[in-house]
Chain A
Amino acid sequence: MSERQTEILLADGSVIADDWVWLRLPESAEPQKKSAGKVVLFRLTGDSAAPAEVVAGVAIPASGRVLLPLTIWLARKDELAPRLAAGEIGVWLDSFEEPQALVDSLADINTLPVIGLNFPRFIDGRAFSVAFLLRNRYGYRGQLRALGDVLRDQLFFLRRVGFDAYAVRADLDIRAAAASLADFPEVYQSSTDQPLPLFRRA
Chain B
Amino acid sequence: MYRYNDYDRAIVKARVAQFRDQTRRFFAGELSEDEFRPLRLQNGLYIQRHAPMLRIAIPYGLLSSEQLRMLAHIARTHDRDYGHFSTRQNIQYNWIPLEQVPEVLEKLSSVDMHGIQTSGNCIRNITSDPYAGIALDEIVDPRPWCEILRQWSTFHPEFAFLPRKFKIAINGAEHDRAVVRCHDIGLEVYRNAAGELVLRVFAGGGMGRTPIIGSVIRDNLPWQHMLTYCEAVLRVYNRYGRRDNSYKARIKILVKALGAEEFARQVDAEWEHFKDGPGTLTQAELARVAAHFTAPAYDAAAGGESELAARAAAERPFERWLSRNVRAHRQPGYRAVVLSLKPTGKPPGDVDSDTMDAIADLADRYSFGELRVTHEQNLVLADVRADQLYALWGELRKLGLATPNIGLLTDIVCCPGGDFCSLANAKSIPIAQAIQERFDDLDYLYDLGELELNISGCMNSCGHHHVGHIGVLGVDKSGSEWYQISIGGAQGNDTSLGEVIGPSFAAEQVPDVVEHLIDTYVDNRQPEERFLDVVRRLGVEPFKSRVYANVAGAKRAKEVEHV
Contacts and interface: CB of A to CB of B under 8 A. Distances in A.
Contacts of B285: 199
B372 interface: no
Secondary structure of the A contact surface, majority rule? loop
Contacts of A123: 38, 121, 161
B238 A153 contact: no
Contacts of A47: none
Interface stretch (A1-9, A35-43, A64-72): A35-43
A141 B241 CA distance: 28
Contacts of A184: 11, 14-15, 18, 155
Given A184-B155, A189-B152, A196 B278 contact: yes
B156 interface: yes
A196 to B, nearest CB: 5
Contacts of A186: 7, 10-11
Contacts of A189: 151-153, 156-157, 227, 279
Interface in A146-178: 151, 153-154, 156-158, 160-161, 172-173
A57 interface: no
Contact of B158 (A43, A132, A198, A199): A132
Contacts of A110: none
Interface residues of B, number: 47
A129 B238 contact: yes
B24 to A, nearest CB: 12
A125 B240 contact: no
A43 B22 CA distance: 33
Interface in B221-247: 227, 235, 238-245
B158 A197 contact: no
Contacts of A156: 157
Interface in B246-294: 254, 257-258, 273-274, 277-279, 281-282, 284-285, 288
A7 B153 CA distance: 33
A188 B244 CA distance: 31
A126 interface: yes
B508 interface: no
Given A123-B121, A153-B22, A43 B157 contact: no
B155 A35 contact: no
A44 to B, nearest CB: 7
Contacts of B258: 39, 42
A158 B158 CA distance: 8
Given A43-B240, A125-B162, A153-B39, A191 B235 contact: no
Nearest to A192: B157
A98 B546 CA distance: 57
Contact of B282 (A43, A154, A185, A200): A200
B390 interface: no
A77 interface: no
B159 interface: yes
Contact of A42 (B38, B157, B240): B240
B160 A128 contact: yes
Contacts of B121: 123, 125
B238 A128 contact: yes
A183 B14 contact: yes
Interface string A18-38: 000000000000000101000
Contacts of B243: 44, 124, 126
B219 interface: no
A105 interface: no
Nearest to A179: B21
Interface string B488-530: 0000000000000000000000000000000000000000000
B307 interface: no
Contacts of B196: none
B152 A129 contact: no
Contacts of A191: 157-158
B244 A125 contact: no
Contacts of B158: 125, 128-129, 132, 157, 161, 191
Nearest to A169: B35
A126 B235 CA distance: 9
A157 B241 CA distance: 20
B154 interface: yes
A198 B151 CA distance: 9
A121 B48 CA distance: 24
Contact of A187 (B155, B235, B239, B245): B155
A164 to B, nearest CB: 14
Interface in B124-158: 151-158
B155 to A, nearest CB: 6
Contact of A197 (B14, B22, B278): B278
A202 B7 contact: yes
B179 to A, nearest CB: 26
A39 B161 contact: no
A14 interface: no
A157 B18 contact: no
Contacts of B284: 199
A157 B273 contact: no
A197 B279 contact: yes
Contacts of B154: 188
B14 A44 contact: no
A178 to B, nearest CB: 13
Contacts of A190: 277-279
Contacts of B10: 185-186
B242 A195 contact: no
A60 B355 CA distance: 70
A42 B158 CA distance: 20
Nearest to B148: A199
A130 interface: yes
Q: Which of B14, B121, B239 has the most CB of A within 10 A?
A: B239
B242 to A, nearest CB: 5
B15 A35 contact: no
A117 to B, nearest CB: 12
Nearest to A128: B158
27 contacts: A123-B161, A125-B160, A126-B243, A128-B160, A129-B158, A129-B238, A132-B158, A153-B18, A153-B22, A157-B157, A161-B157, A172-B30, A184-B18, A185-B14, A186-B10, A188-B7, A188-B151, A188-B155, A189-B156, A189-B227, A189-B279, A195-B278, A197-B227, A197-B278, A199-B281, A200-B282, A202-B7
Top 9 closest A-B pairs, CB basis? A125-B161, A160-B157, A35-B244, A157-B157, A199-B285, A188-B151, A128-B158, A184-B14, A129-B238
Given A183-B14, A184-B155, A187-B157, 16 more contacts: A42-B257, A44-B243, A122-B161, A125-B121, A136-B274, A153-B22, A154-B161, A160-B157, A184-B15, A187-B155, A188-B151, A189-B156, A190-B277, A197-B227, A200-B278, A200-B282
